[in-house]
Amino acid sequence: MAQLDLSTRDSFGSKIGVVAAAAGSAVGLGNIWRFPYVAGESGGAAFLMVYLGFILAIGFPVMLAELTIGRRAQRNALGSFKKLAPGKPWYLVGLMGIGAAFLILAFYSTIAGWTLEYLAQAISNGFDGKSSEELKNSFEQFQAAPFRPLIWQMIFMFLTAYIVYSGVKKGIEKYTKILMPILVLLIIVMSIRSLTLPGAEKGISFLFKPDFSKITWPVILDALGQAAFSLSIGMGTLITYGSYIPKNNNLPITALQVTAADTIIAILAGIMIFPAVFAFNIDPAEGFGLVFIVLPNIFEQMPGGYFFAILFFVLLSIAALTSTVSVLEVVVAYFSEELNMSRRKATILGAIGISFVGVLATLSFGPLSELQLLDRTIFGWFNYLSANVLLPIGAIFIVIFVGWHLGKKNVLDEISNQGELRLRLINLFMVIVKFIAPLAIAAVFIYGLGIIK
């Protein structure tokens, strides 16, 4: 077998670079597109509470566990398991992650493509003078069209592949550091506009006043899936990124910063969307199209809306791009390290393979919309399967691996940078990864799917 030359392995350049890349992966359409529509479908505030509970109790520990595996092994998602557990079937967890990467990128690029379309519409002043009803209709027409959404999706896949191919350090890392704070600022500006619309209070109470009668097992599973999806955990993205993190980086602090940034942006997105939802009489349970219908309404109602709309969709596209890059990187790192491909070949092959699957996701809003199983389209299935099934299962195995296979001594060694950092909560962390997280995820999963009633 060919010996891997680790000295040529790429890595992140700085502490800020590590956080920018990992937060770039976490913060994306998951926060701004997915969180509001899932919360909207699941009753708002009660969903938010459960979601926050999962972020803290499970999301953060799983993230730290993944970073630990990756940095320990210095390999891709599958190779890391092979290296740390040679001759054992743990590598299957990595394989499942690579499958999840295919599914996620396939449907994520559909929505990323919609973002580009909306950028184009913003530039051509396409929202101007349209009523809430008209904005909704034009969205529905666009998503069901046979070609336009596909073309945008392919453009987006091309951009993703281009960046992955050029390496992460000099491109994405550099720009996200500047652009993500601007995105946050812009969301705050839009939240203020949204909050000052007549009738906004209803949106705020929808988001923050929980009605716990809305909580059912499927909703709890949705919250878990959303937490995992939004944090990019459960499929090896953070194993892969962890493998590029320098040995002197403080992993718990990194994980904490990424988790905090991700959560704050999701909540801000909620504050931006829900007041407007109620002010413009849009159904919070509108579904996949929610933000694309609501946002143009807000832009129309703000001074400088033309300018802000362009800026917003540029930034949203970039937020999406820093996430798609991290998903494709999982596949590319695997192809190049395990299957001995050049990075170029791995990128092209990965991107083309995913694009083929992605076509199905995009067309399931138009020509393939009748193709449904149990009330879900192909897009619906990709979305549901990855977030609510593959990521939770992946997360269970990842924590079990760290808790039971790696064991406390190795974990402590890796997380404490070989004894350099003092870790006060390591015992709590071990209890969570050994017992609490696997049991809690398994319970939510089994009840949420209705395996046990």
Q: Which is nearer to ligand PHE, 104 or 220 (CB)?
A: 104
Q: Which is nearer to ligand PHE, 197 or 330 (CB)?
A: 330
Residues that bind ligand PHE in the complex, under the rule CB under 6 A: 25-26, 28-31, 104, 229-230, 232, 235, 237, 323, 326-327
Q: Which is nearer to ligand PHE, 30 or 284 (CB)?
A: 30
Q: Which is nearer to ligand PHE, 26 or 159 (CB)?
A: 26
SS3 content of the chain, % helix, strand, coil (to 5): 75, 0, 25
Of 329, 268, 261, 320, the residue nearest 29 (C-alpha): 320
Q: In angstroms, what is the minimal distance from the CB of 230 to ligand PHE? A: 4
Cβ 33 vs Cβ 194: under 8 Å: no
Q: In angstroms, what is the minimal distance from the CB of 373 to ligand PHE? A: 23
Q: In angstroms, what is the minimal distance from the CB of 237 to ligand PHE? A: 4
Q: In angstroms, what is the minimal distance from the CB of 108 to ligand PHE? A: 7
Distance, CA of 412 to chain centre? 28
Q: Which is nearer to ligand PHE, 98 or 363 (CB)?
A: 98
Angle, CA of 48, 382 and 400, to the nearest 5°: 65
By beta carbon distance, the residue nearest ligand PHE is 30
Q: In angstroms, what is the minimal distance from the CB of 127 to ligand PHE? A: 24
Please provide the DSSP assignment of 59-102 as one string: IHHHHHHHHHHHHHHTS-HHHHHHHHSTTSTTHHHHHHHHHHHH
Rounded distance between C-alpha atoms, residue 422 and residue 176, angstroms = 31
Rounded distance between C-alpha atoms, residue 400 and residue 405, angstroms = 7
Q: In angstroms, what is the minimal distance from the CB of 33 to ligand PHE? A: 8
Residue entry with tokens 């997280």: 437
Q: In angstroms, what is the minimal distance from the CB of 165 to ligand PHE? A: 18
373 SS3 class: strand
Cβ 116 vs Cβ 152: under 8 Å: yes
Q: In angstroms, what is the minimal distance from the CB of 346 to ligand PHE? A: 18
34 to each of 123, 289, 304, 329, how far by Cα in Å? 24, 10, 27, 22
Of 89, 104, 54, the residue nearest 397 (C-alpha): 89
Q: Which is nearer to ligand PHE, 33 or 429 (CB)?
A: 33
Q: Which is nearer to ligand PHE, 204 or 327 (CB)?
A: 327
Q: Which is nearer to ligand PHE, 135 or 393 (CB)?
A: 393
Distance, CA of 289 to chain centre? 17
